[in-house]
A and B are shown apart, each in its own frame.
Chain A
């Protein structure tokens, strides 16, 4: 028998839709209503939103020039 989920579990399952900006109007309304009334879920949403922003700002690796030169020379030799 399928157990009925509690509203918070449903919300966290759907949170990625919010983050992916794929929210339909009805979903948006349902989730927003829940988030407005549930501090814990609202906090989780904010944390995930901040985390995504953090990942998006992660800088590319810096490679020292001498290492780059060695890599390029090795590549050209191998080609």
Chain B
């Protein structure tokens, strides 16, 4: 059981995990998103955790802590709030892992818990209005879009983004995080899961419990918002 795992063993397991990682072709600094485990591997990992295997605890933490913290930082906009959210998320994950039946992938299941942690925090703080994105929707239904492309491009510079180069720029990344965090909840949660974390539209729909068509419309709006946000500060040319 979980209680067999003592904090003293954590350091040893962490060292072992780091040693294993040294031989991995995916280096720590790699920008690759972690590959989701298949259902059988998920169940095996959960089984090992239930049996008190410290390696399973460590594996889950090491695999998901980075992506989850990224997701939560873009949701909260505040690194300290995000860390608090990460701790809450993992606490729920490890508490309820015994109930995991493998109907969803472990990655989906864990991110659903993270989304719920964000919702709980949002309701508590009531800091984020769950409204529409100003300037993108004005008196239109959600299936419509009122943005005129010519207006959007008016006076804008040539945009040719070099993603590899931009991702090395810490200030640019922070500005992007602020942009996502500044969106209303219903949009940022969609773009965060779909574009940043690489979930499919179907997965996002399942995690959030909304229709796929709604995911697509919100995603499109969120992308337009983020594009305009970036253009407020950055001029990117060839």
- Which residues does A use to contact B, with CB under 8 Å? 6, 8-9, 11-13, 15-17, 19-20, 40-41, 43-44, 46-48, 50-63, 65, 67-69, 71-79
Task: Pick 24 A–B contacts, CB within 8 A, sort by A.
Answer: A8-B148, A9-B146, A9-B148, A16-B216, A16-B223, A17-B216, A43-B159, A48-B227, A51-B227, A52-B223, A54-B161, A54-B176, A55-B195, A55-B226, A58-B196, A60-B69, A60-B70, A61-B66, A61-B69, A62-B66, A69-B14, A71-B90, A73-B7, A79-B5
> With A61-B70, A69-B11, A73-B7 in contact, do A55 and B196 touch (Cβ < 8 Å)?
yes
The residue of chain B having its C-beta at the shortest distance from the C-beta of A75 within the complex is B90
- Which residues does B use to contact A, with CB under 8 Å? 2-3, 5-7, 10-11, 14, 18, 28, 31, 33-34, 57-58, 61, 65-67, 69-70, 73, 82-83, 86-87, 90-91, 94-95, 144-150, 152-153, 159-161, 163-164, 166-167, 173, 176, 191, 195-196, 198, 201, 216-217, 219-220, 223-224, 226-227, 230
The residue of chain B having its C-beta at the shortest distance from the C-beta of A79 within the complex is B2
Q: Is the CB of A72 within 8 A of B223?
A: no
What is the bound-complex CA distance between A4 and B82, given in angstroms?
Answer: 45
What is the bound-complex CA distance between A13 and B7, given in angstroms?
Answer: 53
**Contacts A61-B69, A61-B70, A76-B5 given; 12 further ones with Cβ under 8 A?**
A16-B219, A20-B201, A52-B195, A54-B176, A56-B198, A57-B31, A60-B34, A61-B82, A68-B61, A71-B87, A75-B87, A75-B91
